[in-house]
Structure 1
Amino acid sequence: MNVILIPSVRGGLGHIGRTAALARAITRLAPQTHIEYLLDVEEIRAFNIDAAAAMGYRVNFLPLRHRNERDPVVRACLGHADVIVEDTSRSLIPYRAIVPHAAWLSIPMYPLWDELFMDWPLLQQVDAIAWAYPPALEFPPELASLSAKVLRTGPFMELADIPKQRAARNSLGFAPTEKILLYSPRGMSFGRDFGEQVLAAVIGAVNILRKEQNVRLVLTSVNDRNNLRSPGVPEPLPKWISVVPTLAPRQMLTYMSAADVAITEGSNATQEAAALGTPILMVPGTIYEAWVLGTHLQSVNGAKVIWIESADASKLAANLRELLNDKGVRDTTVANAKQAVSGGSGIDAAARWVINAGKRRSVKR
């Protein structure tokens, strides 16, 4: 059975991470499944290529299409698929007409504006829609007319084999006395202004905290250190900052489990930290789903939430200090965050749908 994953590659890493989690669940339940990525070159950010390659699956590219060569290009890229899983790349759904034998699962992003309603003619063409968000990000009413197709899975997270904090720290070689703060600049996917402000605030906050305790900052998903060059970032980086490239999912989640605090911006990393029981300081990114999740976590005391307008070193340091040093605060926020991301039928429901659809399609072929 052949499964092709088509994540959006025009923005951050979340779509690749989400489809990779689904791929791992499919592999766990049906180990013989062949899975590969297909990245649309029309609007691709370079760091997404590295991220997809790190997931451990073959990566192919969908080249630019002209109307005179569209059909053979699409057949060459998708013709061998039994199931196509598309994450926020709905403009490609009309290609179903060229590869009608393949089942199609669409994973929409939480709406920024009114795009889900405007795209209902596209979503009508797919076999199933996975709603991969916790109940806090309410199911959009504009999908109600398609409810028969919807799998309300909750967040896609494959965490069963991730070590607990002590084992994770030991495997990564962190000293027992170090406090580990984890932050992923993620290619500054919310824009340079946002990314540079948060990065400078994080480094400044850790510099403040190091006067009180042994703190290490781990920056992940950094494949080019030149991307870190910005106001407020010292050159060279001090020894208490570790820089880690884009990692395979299990490695990345091991870092997340090992951390004393995860500093997050987007919904995927925040949900993973919550599910792993890692305390969260969130600076919500400039998209609606991050705003909604940040607002909810703030309202239920599930994280320390700092909005970008007030994100500076002193404010981050004060909130990080509380998460690091106050066990009551830490335990309360961890429990509330875990509750906030719970709900739905789980990633296995989506994986089983893919497996069953693929079996039916491969038999027909």
Structure 2
Amino acid sequence: MIPSVSGGVGHISRTGVLARALRRLDPGVSVEYVLDAGRLRPFNIAAVMQMGYRPRLLPARTRDNRDAVAQACLDDADVIVDDSMRYLVPLRACLPRAAWVSVPMYPVGDELFDDWPCLEQTDAVIWAYAPLVERPAELDLVADKLAVTGPFLDMGEVPEREAARAALGITAPFVAYAPRGFPFGLIFGHRALHAAIEGVAALRRGAHPELQLHLMAVKNPGELRGIAGVPDTLPDWVVVHGLAPQAEALARMRAADILLAEGSSTMHEGASLGTPMVLIPGPIAETLNLARALARHRGAHSVEPDDTTPEALARAFAAVLDDRTEAAAMAARARAAVTVGGGAEAAAQLVLRVAAEHRARRAARGEAV
């Protein structure tokens, strides 16, 4: 697995779901993680290790060391799955044993068109988004390789809401939000955090005095200090959690009264868990399109990045807390919208088939497998 590690942990968690699906289908499968050191945000190493993997680091490549580096990191692979790392596909020339599957993210600009020659060199391309998000026309250029699976989701072992709350020792109502090192930049991230804290504070002064804010996936608590409008000493109703194993993080998301989501992986996970969501999409096309689609589908409340203020979030939080029947219906609509297409199981079946077909072709040519 080669996930993107230049932003948040969404690509790591998505490949983690795929890895678990592969192991369920074939317990003999061994999964390794390779992270590109040149584009690495260090907390992503901890995120991979939380899943039980010790990642290999892919160092910078030069014309002189390219083959040796690629082979040292990847030559034992039967199949390589990159998540939004298709710029590494040319390394296939150094790795004849391995098949290659690419999982692109929704394009930020025109990079999906610019990179289609890389996708053309793969064995398969997986589009892992819900049907309510329009598929980019650029993928028609690799239609013969394309598999549409829907999001990779794995919620089967997550306890139901009340059981999750009991297991985590939670009694008060709370909003869950994962700053995750501010992957959409400090301007957006600081505005979102300020709005979340002050939005909850406004409700605590009114009809919801017991409401809490749980901040998840905070690798370094120091990143929460020095932010305009955010006190360096947080009030006791703001509960800070570090990086946690995926099972614990998903249980906390299910236990929440409201999930405040900014990234597409969190939106997909929250929808699948059935937790009412307020969306503050990061300012890129992927998250904006998914949030707007969920809002059109009446599956979530969504606040545009430039409109993310304490007042806007307080209104959205109150809409969920003050009408639990409609909030449950909203969450059910979101769940129905994202749990389609076969997801991780379909993607895992494809990965195993691609690997087997690649080995068979090499064997037929008398090459080492």
Per the normalisation by structure 2, the TM-score is 0.94
SS of the equivalent of 1:35 reads coil
Partner of 1:263: 260
Partner of 2:301: 304
- Kindly state the Cα deviation for residue 26 of structure 1 after the two structures are TM-superposed: 1.1
Two-structure CA RMSD over aligned residues (Å): 1.4
Residue 41 of structure 2 is aligned to residue 35 of structure 1: no
Deviations 1:154-210 (A, max 9, x none): 0011111111101111111101xx112100001111110100001011011111222
- Contact preservation (8 Å) 2:89, 2:122: yes
Deviations 1:103-158 (A, max 9, x none): 11100011122211111111111011110001121222211131121111000111
Moved more, 240-249 or 158-167: 240-249
Partner of 2:366: none
In structure 1, the gaps of 5 or more residues are: none
Counterpart of 2:184 (choices 187, 190, 213) is 190
Partner of 2:349: 352
Counterpart of 2:278 (choices 275, 278, 281) is 281
- Contact preservation (8 Å) 1:137, 1:293: yes
Separation in structure 2 between the aligned mates of residue 170 and residue 148 of structure 1, nearest angstrom = 48
Partner of 1:180: 174
- Kindly state the Cα deviation for residue 359 of structure 1 after the two structures are TM-superposed: 4.4
Partner of 1:15: 11
- Kindly state the Cα deviation for residue 263 of structure 1 after the two structures are TM-superposed: 0.1
- Kindly state the Cα deviation for residue 314 of structure 1 after the two structures are TM-superposed: 2.0
Residue 249 of structure 2 is aligned to residue 224 of structure 1: no
SS of the equivalent of 1:352 reads helix
Deviations 1:310-352 (A, max 9, x none): 2111221121012012123202311221232233232101111
- Kindly state the Cα deviation for residue 252 of structure 1 after the two structures are TM-superposed: 1.2
Q: Which amino acid aligns with 1:93?
A: V
Deviations 1:14-53 (A, max 9, x none): 1111111111111222222211110001111122222222
Partner of 1:341: 338
- Contact preservation (8 Å) 2:89, 2:118: yes
Per the normalisation by structure 1, the TM-score is 0.95
Give 4+ residue runs of structure 1 displaced > 6 Å after superposition: none
Deviations 1:77-101 (A, max 9, x none): 0000011010111110000111111
- Contact preservation (8 Å) 2:2, 2:85: yes
Partner of 1:206: 200
- Contact preservation (8 Å) 1:259, 1:278: yes
In structure 2, the gaps of 5 or more residues are: 364-368
Partner of 2:142: 146
Moved more, 340-349 or 353-362: 353-362
Moved more, 78-87 or 225-234: 225-234
Indicate the percent of aligned positions where both proteins have the same amino acid: 43
Separation in structure 1 between the aligned mates of residue 301 and residue 354 of structure 2, nearest angstrom = 42
Separation in structure 2 between the aligned mates of residue 227 and residue 265 of structure 1, nearest angstrom = 18
Deviations 1:281-313 (A, max 9, x none): 001111101111111122122111111222111
Separation in structure 1 between the aligned mates of residue 343 and residue 60 of structure 2, nearest angstrom = 35
The count of residues paired between Structure 1 and Structure 2 equals: 359
Tell me: CA distance 1:361–1:300, structure 2 relative to 1, closer, same or farther (3 Å): closer
Separation in structure 2 between the aligned mates of residue 311 and residue 222 of structure 1, nearest angstrom = 21
Q: Which amino acid aligns with 2:280?
A: V
- Contact preservation (8 Å) 2:280, 2:303: yes
Partner of 1:91: 87
Separation in structure 2 between the aligned mates of residue 137 and residue 53 of structure 1, nearest angstrom = 31
- Contact preservation (8 Å) 1:55, 1:247: no
Separation in structure 1 between the aligned mates of residue 239 and residue 22 of structure 2, nearest angstrom = 33
Counterpart of 1:46 (choices 42, 67, 72) is 42
Separation in structure 1 between the aligned mates of residue 125 and residue 93 of structure 2, nearest angstrom = 18
- Contact preservation (8 Å) 2:123, 2:354: no
Separation in structure 2 between the aligned mates of residue 301 and residue 130 of structure 1, nearest angstrom = 27
- Contact preservation (8 Å) 2:262, 2:281: yes
- Contact preservation (8 Å) 2:180, 2:219: no
